[in-house]
Amino acid sequence: MRHSIKLSLLRFASALVVLAGVLSAAIASRTQTSASIRGFLPSRVEAERDLERKLQGTPDPARAEAALRRLTAEPHMAGTEASRRVAEWLRDQYRSFGFDAEIVTYSVWLPLPREVKLELVAPEEKALGSREQPVAGDRDSSDPRAVVGFNSYSPSADVTAPVVYVNYGTVQDYNDLESLGVSVAGKIALVRYGRGYRGVKSKLAEEHKAAGLLIYSDPQDDGYVAGDTYPRGPWRPLSAIQRGSVLYTQIYPGDPLTPGVAATPAARRIAPADAASLPRIPTVPINAQDASVILAALGGGRVPRGWQGGLPVTYHIGEGSTQLHLKLAMDYQQRPIYDVIAKLHGMSDNEWVILGNHHDAWVFGAADPGSGTSAMLEAARALGVLARSGWKPRRTIVICHWDAEEPGLLGSTEWVEANRAALQEKAVAYINTDVGVTGPNFSASATPSLNELVRDVTSDVKDPSSGRSVFDVWRDRLTRPQIEERIPGSEAGSDAPIEVPLGALGAGSDFCPFYDHAGIPALDVSFTGDYGVYHSLYDDFYWMKHFGDPSFAYHAALARVLGTLALRLDEADILPFNYPEYAVEIKRASDDLAARASIARMQGQGARIVGDASDEFAAAAARAARALGSLSPGALDSEKESQINRDLVGVEQALLAPQGLAGRSWYEHTIFAPGSYAGYAAEILPGVSESLDANDAATFAQESDSLAAALHRAAARLDDVARLASPSAPSAANLPPRPSGVLGVLPRF
């Protein structure tokens, strides 16, 4: 999208000063003995360690394997009876673990394919649209119930038109094409998967007036160029098709006809023609075999440098006589989807620790999402074992399995929209996993205030292969340049301790409605590896057993991580949020914004007021950290402790803009949102950043004011935390009521 702007020396210096304190304390915390746990009173640490030992001793690889075999027994796409059967099985499993479990049903506008036809009509006639080929030894690969390759939410169409190759179909690719004097208007654009969400590819093709879009998987990206292909290796074979949604979730996810409200049967629905998230041009995924035929037939000039992929033909742009016939018939209906909601009730039902992943799959979904589902089941079983032994959660633990995530986060979005008020009052955090296990490499993204919790927990969970901690293996896998890219100043002294950076939350999974819309602190965890069968027929049990996690040891490890995260959030005296680290992220982005605005010569005071507000936020975070860090055991009465926790959780809500982001009001978070032209990847300070990219001075000023106001609200909440934590603060019962949404830092008592 835009070229990166190097940080100034001043930015490095200021960031280093702030970060040094954060990281030195963080690193030191993991070198301490088991006598302390972040957010826990000393008197409760031993009991928490005992709970965690029992929980971590429960997950069983054999049980995870059996669960995955059951989950992948049949294709179970959203909108089908098979998806309902999976939901009912999950509900019954949770009831057997001691949870109060139910199925919540929504009615959504959801298409299924009736006919997908593709053929080359010039310079010769040739049938395309080939299906995935069966693999010897993998009986699932010949299952006739597997859905054909299609893109959910594409409109029906019957189009015959010339073809133009547009590389990855990004903004820059279209700019390059236009510089060559080539237009896709009235033509079918051929693009390859990668470097962005497929729905953004469809939106860009629509904006450039293409008649249709074909998306294929190039072997350079996830096929034989990357390594051995299935069934010899884990990478995508030439016949594999990446299914997926093209719903414009970058505008809003969920049911396209009920934006912002739950898709109950009685909900007021807009007409499909008025739904901004629905694409207007037909889009179809094809495999590399068919793409090779099309590319070999293309004429015109050779592609620009960097556009050549891994197929054994010379790629051409395609101006000329090559034509395709595309026919797509989609069956749009109101269809039921089935969310599974399971609760392990705590001593306080006024606070919820929420975990979730989805259960629907494009076909069998062994990795996506079955690996996450089976790991979540093992974490839930372990929590149930604790409960049967006499433990009662301090807070209520809610575990959710969403339907219709694949078409566009429908199940989670509708549930959040239905329960937004209760979530903003009660939810402590949302813990997500999706493609839970494809290999041994731990990966995590989180709101910055929860980064340190993830590091702490992974320090206390063993890596199955090495016997060391997951954290140590995770840290050692990253190179110093990777660390330096994310953490300014970490390059100082090659032997200096380094911290592990986490990813930012964008979109593409079920944390999105919790975080981006409702302001609930969120994180996402998984174990990753070589995974080339994403959204294909071959993402099945056989692939997982031979390549992803043959022993299912990492499924059990993920269950231990999920369960321990839940216990830390459930049992903490003061919830373990680290807001100085959040302040560092915001300060870094604010400095970057100022540098870019200066280069762009953007008029107005936007960058300055954002910079001032980010400084205020950082100072307030530091004050709250000092106050909480100086607390002595027994210093807080229960009411004051409860108020501090409500304030600590509420900071994300303080960072929401009630009017939403410009042009996409469903997204309310002012600090993080998926990029409008990325779709999955997070944009930091999205409103101001994207208006600056567009050179839109009026929107830049508007979004700067909105962002600064959010940072001021968050800073005020931080100062409320500092006052509550000070020895002279009155009892919480004598303080005036205030809205939730305070920023906080976790203490180590």
Helix (H) or strand (E) holding 123: none
What number of other Cβ atoms are within 10 A of residue 639's Cβ?
A: 13
Task: Determine the pLDDT at residue 30.
Answer: 57
* Span 522-548, average pLDDT: 98
Per-residue pLDDT tens for 635-670? 888 899 999 999 999 999 999 999 999 999 999 999
Question: pLDDT digit string (tens) for 320-332?
Answer: 789 999 999 999 9
Supply the pLDDT for residue 483. Answer: 55
Distance between CA atoms of residues 623 and 627, nearest Å: 6
Q: What is the pLDDT of residue 680?
A: 85
Cβ neighbours around 250 below 10 Å, total: 24
SS (H, E, C) 239-291: CCCCCEECCCCCCCCCCCCCCCCCCCCCCCCCCHHHCCCCCCCCEEEECHHHH
At residue 604, does pLDDT exceed 80? no
Average pLDDT, the chain: 91
* The pLDDT of residue 689 is above 80: yes
At 747, the pLDDT band (50, 70, 90 cuts) reads very low
Q: Which pLDDT band holds residue 598 (cuts at 50, 70, 90)?
A: confident
Task: For residue 106, give both structure tokens.
Answer: 């929504």
Task: Return the pLDDT at 478.
Answer: 86
- Residue 736 above 50 pLDDT? no
- Residue 405 designated active-site: yes
Structure tokens at 358: 């989805």
How confident is the model over 494-506, as pLDDT tens digits? 444 457 999 999 9
pLDDT at position 19 over 80: no
| pLDDT tops 60 at residue 47 | yes
**Residue 126 scores a pLDDT above 60:** yes
Residue with tokens 């008029």, as numbered in its chain: 603
pLDDT level of residue 606 (50, 70, 90 thresholds): confident
pLDDT computed for residue 599 by the predictor: 85
- For residues 488-517, average pLDDT: 77
pLDDT value of position 87: 98
> Which pLDDT band holds residue 481 (cuts at 50, 70, 90)?
low
Instruction: With cut-offs at 50, 70 and 90, classify the pLDDT of residue 482.
Output: low
Q: Tell me what percent of the residues of the chain surpass a pLDDT of 90.
A: 85
pLDDT band at 21 (very low <50, low <70, confident <90, very high): very low
Instruction: Tell me the CA distances in angstroms from 572 to 84, 393, 579, 704, 731, one per residue in order.
Output: 36, 11, 17, 36, 20
The whole-number average pLDDT for the span 202-215 is 98
DSSP 92: H
Listed range (188-202, 578-592, 608-622, 625-639) with the worst mean pLDDT: 625-639
SS3 of residue 417 by DSSP: helix
Residue pair 586/688 in contact (Cβ under 8 Å)? The answer is no
Determine the 3-state secondary structure of 367 from DSSP. helix
For residue 196, report the phi and psi dihedrals to the nearest 5 degrees. Answer: 145, 165
Q: What band does 338 get if pLDDT is binned at 50, 70 and 90?
A: very high
Q: Using alpha carbons, select from 610, 581, 616, 583 the residue that is nearest to residue 594.
A: 610
Cβ neighbours for 112, distance < 8 A, ≥ 6 positions apart: 77, 79, 80, 147, 330, 331, 333
Helix 470-477 and helix 451-459: axis angle, to 10°? 120
Q: For residue 448, what pLDDT is reported?
A: 98
What span, in angstroms and rounded, lies between the C-alpha atoms of 259 and 249? 11
Q: Which amino acid is at 269?
A: R
pLDDT at position 730 is 53
Report the distance separating Cα 743 and Cα 730, nearest Å.
20
Q: How confident is the model at residue 479 (pLDDT cuts 50, 70, 90)?
A: low
Residues 6+ apart with CB under 8 A from 495: none
Give residue-wise pLDDT tens across range 55-71.
999 999 999 999 999 99
What does the pLDDT look like over 438-448, one tens digit per residue? 999 999 999 99
In whole angstroms, what is the distance from residue 367 CA to residue 213 CA? 27
Q: What is the DSSP string of 665-726?
A: TT--BSSEEE-TTTSSSEEESHHHHHHHHTT-HHHHHHHHHHHHHHHHHHHHHHHHHHHHHS
Predicted confidence (pLDDT) per residue in 339-349, tens digit? 999 999 999 99
- Residue range 3-18: mean pLDDT, rounded: 33
Give percent of the chain with pLDDT exceeding 70: 89
pLDDT range class, residue 738, cuts 50, 70, 90: very low
Q: Residue range 33-58: average pLDDT?
A: 92
pLDDT (tens digit, 9 = 90+) per residue, 227-279? 999 999 999 999 999 999 999 999 999 999 999 999 999 999 999 999 999 99
Q: Report residue 603's pLDDT band, with 50, 70 and 90 as the boundaries.
A: low
* Across 186-204, average pLDDT: 97
Question: How far, in Å, CA of 219 to CA of 667, rounded?
Answer: 35
Is pLDDT of 560 > 90?
Answer: yes
Residue 601: which pLDDT band, with cuts at 50, 70 and 90? confident
460-477 pLDDT, tens per residue? 999 999 999 999 999 999
As a whole number of angstroms, the distance between CA 88 and CA 60 comes to: 23
Kindly report, residue by residue over 68-107, the tens digit of the pLDDT: 999 999 999 999 999 999 999 999 999 999 999 999 999 9
**Can you list the domains of the chain with their CATH numbers?**
9-25+575-734 (1.20.930.40), 46-108+336-571 (3.40.630.10), 110-334 (3.50.30.30)
pLDDT at residue number 251? 97
- Strand residue runs (E) in 455-504: none
Q: Is 713 in contact with 614 (CB distance < 8 Å)?
A: no
Q: Are 448 and 537 in contact (CB under 8 A)?
A: no
Q: Whose structure tokens read 């380094």?
A: 498
- From the candidates 48, 65, 206, 405, which is the catalytic residue? 405
For the cut 90, the answer to whether the pLDDT of residue 480 exceeds it is no
Whether the pLDDT of residue 563 is over 80: the answer is yes
Residue 667 in contact with residue 516, Cβ under 8 Å?
A: yes
27 pLDDT above the threshold of 90:
no
* pLDDT of res. 211: 98
